[in-house]
Chain A
Amino acid sequence: MNHTLNITANNEASVVERLLQVTRYRGYQLAGLELTPMAEKAGLSITLTVSSDKPIHLLTSQLHKLYDVRDLQLASADIAALRA
């Protein structure tokens, strides 16, 4: 199943690597990645799409812990699917 995460992160050189490392290590496949630097110092806006049979909370809880991750939301379609 595909999940889309909307992430706001500090615009640090290593932040994308960190996201990808955790994603791989926790057993999720990368299905899409988009990043847009926000205005000066405001950070990076990242859309991360992953696929896995594992429940998505096992990934989001780990990504949330990353020091450079400021905000992380499951896309609303995902939330609706989880509730269904």
Chain B
Amino acid sequence: MNGAELVLKVLQQHGVDTIFGYPGGAIMPIYDAIYASPVKHYLCRHEQGGAFSAIGYARSSGKVGVCLATSGPGATNLITSLADAMLDSVPLVAITGQVSQAVMGTDAFQEIDVLGLSLSVTKHSFMVRSADELAATLNEAFAIARSGRPGPVLVDIPKDVQLAAAAEPDNAATPQSRALNTSLAQSAQARQLIAKANKPMAYIGGGVHMAGAMPQLQDFLAQCLMPSVTTLKGMGSVAKDNPYYLGMLGMHGTQAANIAVQQCDLLICLGARFDDRVTGNLKKFAPNAKVIHVDIDPAEINKVRFAEVSFLGDMRQILPAIASSTDCSDWLAHCSNLKQQHGWRYDHPGERIYAPLMLKQLSERMPDNSVVCCDVGQHQMWVAQHMRFSHPRNHLSSGGLGTMGFGLPAAIGAKLARPQDTVIAVSGDGSFMMNVQELGTIKRFRLPVKIVIIDNQRLGMVKQWQQLFFNERYSETDLSDNPDFVALAAAFAIPGHSITRKDEVESALEAMFTWPGPYLLHVRIDEKDNVWPLVPPGAANEDMIMETN
């Protein structure tokens, strides 16, 4: 066998049966091996889309996503997606072809220093110098991608290495996942802090479900009986019927969540990282709280907020070790009051569709365990606010990088990872156009992805900031010459329908869900609708502004 065939063999050894990519000169030997391989390759229409599909696949399933690209422009097209995976801790292995070693370093055709480019957007990157190193390097890449805090790993393989003779890979060489050292030394201290707290609060991020600690989290919240909030990536971590779950915190979080976090005296941060979209003005964030921080990444402890007590390691061991009963019934009552008092309101005058209400209807109508893939902007925040998820793997949103164009290709990956589940891409009129070419992928594989475009004929989120903070100077945010999205879908043999009125929503959702194949629902909304509440830049989280127009 040659190096290229070995690559496919090693992928199989890792249980990989689905890969996403796009061919080109420097990766042709690997594509030649794909031709005869049982590993199923999905041809994307842009490498960024292919890598987002791999991310959607990984995030919806918990497996490692794999994507391929050729050297030069193929590899540079991957960069945004690698950065997205880096900031959202997604296990991804990206394989790029490189020009042959004989011409490397000569500015050869489609030669670019991919390893150098990748440094700041990957957890690690490899350049493989000989076919003998190939299997071990790929094994290592998988181990790095999934171990500790997961992340993207790039493996750059020169064409001559792909073509070189290679020995059959050792079957036993599947990766040893690195042992986790979990120190519980401070658990007595943590239990004491929890037991003594008058106003404890659990602040839950994406790290909890990634650690496989969802059951331990429910036990922890039951045993410690305290209110909880989640980040964008933690949504779906707390059982829907938990009466003390206050929703998402941060810039577009719920009022109840933000007010309660500001008032708490103990903040238990579980697999989250005090991101600035969460904390608002860091100096004013949860000013009276002591912090217990649990994470797997040592660099997150004391990075932006000092933790009185911290734990590194396996969340599944740490949560039971720090659980302690609490005595805070007044606080619990106060929090459920906040929740009641500041519930969402869906009254909206006029006939036009109100996106928050429409998304709530979508949420109630969608089958259990549907996966919703978002794009970035106002619609993304409305999804987070008004849809309910039973697991974080059912809500894929580009959190750290906030990458427009994420939703559609991520939905393709999610549908392939979970063919039995309904997959919905909720996109904006701006974001949808950023990876619209992936409609070609949906068409080819007849993937029954449901696409909902929330069309405000604007780059709405930017427009909202212009309205609020830039004196209504609407610079370059008008999209009123959008294409006819239904006709666009039709060009890819995807049926669709366009709605503008509230009374059309229910039947349109029904039509979308009963149609067996892919479907595009175009939802025209008023460009004046904005996302509320909002914590303005530099403000403390209790200084949310509410609807102003």
Contact = CB atoms under 8 A, between A and B. Distances in A.
B144 A67 contact: yes
Interface in A1-36: 13-14, 17-18, 21, 25
Contact of B299 (A17, A25, A62): A62
Interface residues of B, number: 15
Interface in B305-361: none
Interface stretch (B112-120, B163-171, B501-509, B520-528): B112-120
A31 B302 CA distance: 25
Contacts of B421: none
Contacts of A25: 120
B298 interface: yes
A67 B250 CA distance: 33
A21 B298 contact: no
Interface string B120-151: 10011101000000000000000010000000
A67 B299 contact: no
Contacts of B115: 14
A14 B301 CA distance: 27
Q: How large is the interface on A (under 10, 10 to 19, 20 to 34, 35 or more residues)?
A: 10 to 19
A65 B299 contact: yes
Contact of A21 (B120, B123, B297, B301): B120
B145 to A, nearest CB: 11
A58 B303 CA distance: 6
B144 to A, nearest CB: 6
A14 B302 contact: no
Nearest to A68: B124
Nearest to B120: A21
A64 B116 contact: no
A61 B298 contact: yes
Contact of B297 (A57, A58, A65, A66): A65
Given A18-B119, A21-B120, A25-B120, A13 B127 contact: yes
A54 to B, nearest CB: 11
A84 to B, nearest CB: 20
Given A13-B127, A67-B124, A67-B144, A21 B299 contact: no
Given A14-B119, A25-B120, A67-B124, 4 more contacts: A17-B116, A61-B301, A62-B299, A65-B297
5 contacts: A14-B116, A14-B119, A64-B298, A65-B298, A67-B124
Interface of A: 13-14, 17-18, 21, 25, 57-58, 61-62, 64-67
